[in-house]
Structure 1
Amino acid sequence: MGSHYLEGALAPVHEELTLTDLKITGTLPDHLDGRYLRNGPNPIGEVDPATYHWFMGDGMVHGIRLRDGRAEWYRNRWVRGPVAARRLGEPEPPAPGAAGFDVVGPNTSVIGHAGRTIALIEGGLAPYELDDELGTVGACDFGGTLSGGYTAHPKHDPVTGELHAVSYSFARGNRVQYSVIDVLGRARRTVDIQVTGSPMMHDFSLTEKHVVFYDLPVTFDARKAVPSAVPAPLAAPARLVMDALIGRVRVPDPIAARAVTSGGTGLPYSWNPRYPARIGVMPREGGDADVRWFEVEPCYVFHPLNAYDDGDTIVLDVVRHPRMFATDPLGPNEGATTLDRWTVDPRAGKVIESRLDDRFQEFPRVDERRTGHRHRYGYAVQIREGVAPDDTLLKHDLDRGTTLTRSFGHGKGAGEFVFEPSTPEGAEDDGLLLGLVSDLPSGTTDLMVLDAATLETVAAVHIPARVPAGFHGNWVAG
């Protein structure tokens, strides 16, 4: 039996390419000097479709270098941690050590910070630094200032340039870690926050004054972490031991790594209807004792669009899933998503939930100059069941309550689009949107460069190769 997480737009590619002097339709604006980078899972070698979890594929970063109106190259490279190198038959690099443990190479996002390119993943796994041509430099622990893994979704503060993050791992027990990485690439602040149990906290929100934690009912599942090689009479006691450890003590990283990789069934997280759904609000300079918790309807959020302070309230725009990993343990396939607004009212002690758009969508992005500040526009990709890419990009005008759409045509699969302003001082939609659109029948891909105001094509960079549907990317200037 096949897996739709290994087919069609999600099917992996099997070789690394370097393609130069790519053809372009239209004209690339002169200010586009840098690299468009995107990360995603791409398993090395054969995998078992019955147990393959989409989130557990080996990380592969794709990049297109733009300069002086030209597309100089396209590259795709697996991130070489010890496990990936072993699968590729290459010499193993040093283990990531304090940076986190290595199960799959970072496969979720890729950013630029402090002059470095960093491939990201979550759950206690190690991020890795890449060179300018996507070769692996090594595990990243931010100059020895941060241990135990990082997150896939840090946020740049547009005022200070610092990188804020919330990291989770079942090795942390019942705590998540808020961190601030300074502009030199070193952690200047880390704060442990106690949560209900051991949740999968994929993302968080940042405002001018607050950090927001999403403590929602997708939690560590000891049944998936106990290796299948454990004899049946011992499996139940082993699960009890794992359950007892989670939330009480920190599990050493080597133990955690063995639990996940020694015959378990992929991602060790699942829907937990007994877990309370809530969000936590902490002042930016606060600590664990300063967090206030507010109940929300049970659901799951992978990706907030943005958040901001509005007088005494806090506004959170999020893509809401009704649940996650409840009936499909191998990927995000649990019903229609919606774009919702949650307004936190600290005085009333409650969250007001409302619907902004009911189209099935994901991968929301905002002009990152507006991160933590009031925004008008948001961009998302319309998707089909199982988070397979559709051919339509959405631009939400949240002031007017309208949505502009752009269809790329039948047989096309659109990935996440990122916003790049035309000038640093330009208006919120005065800029470009960059994203990959695959043509499934021809097995080719275009980097589409769109006018953010109209969603019309400014230019298209033609890549004579298929780029599988993946997760997140960014424009890295310079």
Structure 2
Amino acid sequence: MPSATGHTTKSHPHSTTHLLGPGYRPVADETAHADLAVRGTLPPELDGTFLRIGPNARGEHDPAVQHAFAGAGMVHGLRLGGGRAHWYRNRWLRDGTVSRELGELPTPGPRRGLDGHVNANLVHHAGRTLAVTDGGTLPLVLDPGLRTLARTDFDGTLPGGFGAHPLTDPVTGELHAVAVDPAGDGALLLTVDVEGKVREALPVPVKGRPWMHAFALTERHAVLFDLPVAHDPAEARAGSPVPYSWRPDRDARIGIVPRGRPGSAALWLDVPPCFVFHPVNAFEDADGRITVDVIRHERAFDRDRLRPSESAPALWRWTLDPREGAVVEHRLDGRVQEFPRIDERRTGLPYRYAFTVELVPGDGAALCGPALLRHDLTTGRTDRHAFADGRQGGEAVFVPRHALAPEGDGWLLTLVYDPAADRSELAVVDTADFTGPPVATVPLPVRVPHGFHAQWVPSRW
């Protein structure tokens, strides 16, 4: 069956059934709803817009044979402020294909690079909210009403594509990303200054086009993941919109790249074969050792090329010793989980709390689960916030209570799907009572498909 990009993807015999449930079905229409009801009390400090992004295939869609990560990007937003939920709306991201299908004029901006679907992540930087994705596709700029305004190459300073998981340095305010060349070997470690222009593009040689979906940052280094999921020419020839697979011939290694030192070579350290979609955080000590916490998959896209379904991802820690060329790894928590978030004021710094989505064992790397987990990495304690009555929640974004609040003191916001009603709701969890019920929920008159990543944009946008 044709996919959203017009290709046919071969179904693999060991595909599992997760990501096929009703909560994953695409929605057919753009909608807008104002003055939403609120159950409980929305904290008045939450003054901004909650955003969520993910693939939302247009037209015919059969998740049994189409890649789970393909499909036109759709962004969902809820505007909060003054203790009220002012509106919910959803909008397709206007890449070239979607604009043509809707009969609209092309989105303005540079036309170079790939024109693929932008459906992976959102970031707010230099006064602009951007939708971003892997590969050579340029970011899209969104307005406060979620309309796609333009493509951007950061005023001509971006030499190629961007990355799906940029990170903001909380000390400098600069934005960092890793972009892999989809047409050849090599990666670029990008630094975008506070004015929104690329200040540095450091080449990092890699072979075989690995899928570097994300990276980690410390005060002095970037940490890259060159792991055995890489470009698969056979999948590309077959027309897969996501032509990557498990390549057992590839080594698994972690690269340590000094920041702000042009020409510095990466130091590569070997690790056992695995794959990482999402690091949690990284930091370094006075002796140069680097701690990297990740959600570690045993493998991905091997027997099942359509979904990351083949292992039970868990929370692991790698301790890197560049002087000894050694890596020590151990599991921090064995529960099946994904979509880690932290208090982003601690990005690249020593930190205490990690928040993840608990998944159902046997469902592989699904996009939702029955609970949120809070890991206290100082005490080793893990708390669980369970969603009631069979509801399933996705990635939660953390919002601090105020600018000087202690780490992890604030609220977690996540979209939760109620299968009984076939509707979604925004849940607001106060970390001061993490295991208790949400302090507020905002029921939506529609279902929001389980998607990828969430973002909070303060009202000063």
TMscore range, shorter length:
over 0.9
1:179 paired residue number: 190
Tell me the amino acid that sits aligned with residue 378 of structure 1. A
Distance of aligned partners of 1:50 and 1:381 in 2 relative to their CA distance in 1, 3 Å threshold? closer
SS in 1 for 2:66: coil
Task: Name which of 222, 244, 250 aligns with 2:233.
Answer: 222
Partner of 2:386: 407
The Cα of 1:286 is off from its aligned counterpart by 2.5
CA contact (8 A) 1:391 1:410 kept: no
Matching residue of 2:114? 101
Q: Which amino acid aligns with 1:470?
A: G
Q: If each structure's helix is expressed as a fraction of its own residues, which one has the higher value?
A: 1
Query: Aligned to 1:387, which of 351, 354, 365?
Result: 365
Cα pair 1:51 1:266 within 8 Å, conserved:
no
Could you say which residue in structure 2 is the equivalent of 1:79?
Answer: 93
2:23 match: secondary structure: helix
Higher deviation after alignment, 77-86 or 382-391:
382-391
Partner amino acid, structure 1, of 2:95: G
Residue of structure 1 equivalent to 2:268: 293
1:274 aligned to 243, 246, 249, which one?
Answer: 249
- 2:428 corresponds in structure 1 to 449
CA distance in 2, matches of 1:138, 1:436: 27
Q: What CA deviation, in whole Å up to 9, does each residue of 1:257-298 have, x standing for no partner?
A: xxxxxxx02311100001110001011113454311100000
Change (3 A) 1:86 1:48: farther
In structure 1, the residue corresponding to 2:100 is in which secondary structure? helix
Counterpart residue identity of residue 270, structure 1 = S
Distance change (3 Å), C-alpha of 1:373 and 1:95: closer
Letter in 2 for 1:199: P
Is 1:208 matched up with 2:187? no
1:152 to 161, 164, 181: 164
Structure 1 stretches of 4+ moved >6 Å: none
Between the aligned residues of both structures, percent identity stands at: 48
Q: Indicate how the Cα distance of structure 1 residues 25 and 49 shifts in structure 2: closer, same or farther if over 3 A, else same.
A: closer
CA contact (8 A) 1:380 1:393 kept: yes
Whether 2:348 is the aligned partner of 1:367: answer no
Residue 464, structure 1, aligned to residue 445, structure 2:
yes
Match of residue 320, structure 2, among 329, 339, 344: 344
Superposed displacement of residue 135, structure 1: 0.5
Could you report, residue by residue, the CA deviation over 1:158-206 in whole angstroms, capped at 9, with x for unpaired residues?
11111011111322x2111111111111111111100132100000000
> How far apart, in 2, do the equivalents of 1:58 and 1:307 lie?
32
1:406 Cα offset (Å): 0.9
Determine helix, strand or coil for the equivalent of 1:302: strand
Deviates more, 1:4-13 or 1:292-301: 4-13
Question: Using a 3 Å threshold, how does the CA distance of structure 1 residues 322 and 67 change in structure 2: closer, same or farther?
Answer: same
Moved more, 322-331 or 141-150: 141-150
Shift of 1:154: 0.4
TM-score normalised by L of structure 1: 0.89
1:29 CA displacement: 1.6
Q: Which residue of 2 aligns with 1:377?
A: 353
Q: CA deviation at 1:410?
A: 3.5
Determine the C-alpha separation between the residues in 2 that align with 1:321 and 1:108.
19
2:286 matched to 1:305? no
- Secondary structure at the counterpart of residue 223 of structure 1: helix
* 1:307 Cα deviation after fit: 0.4
Note the 1:185-200 alignment, pairs <5 A.
185-200=196-211
Q: TM-score, normalised by structure 2?
A: 0.92
- Whether contact under 8 Å (1:53, 1:330) holds in the other structure is yes
Aligned-CA RMSD value:
1.6
Residue 397 of structure 2: which of 399, 410, 418 is its match?
A: 418
In structure 2, give the amino acid aligned to 1:134: L
The SS at the match of 1:410 is: coil
For 2:28 and 2:210, the matched residues in 1 are separated by 34
Instruction: Tell me how far apart the structure 2 counterparts of residues 49 and 379 of structure 1 sit (CA, whole Å).
Output: 29
Contact 2:78-2:89 at 8 Å conserved across structures: yes
Q: CA deviation at 1:331?
A: 1.4
Paired residue for 2:259? 284
Which runs of 5 or more structure 1 residues have no equivalent in the other structure? 229-263
Q: CA deviation at 1:144?
A: 1.3
Residue 320 of structure 1: which of 296, 317, 324 is its match?
A: 296
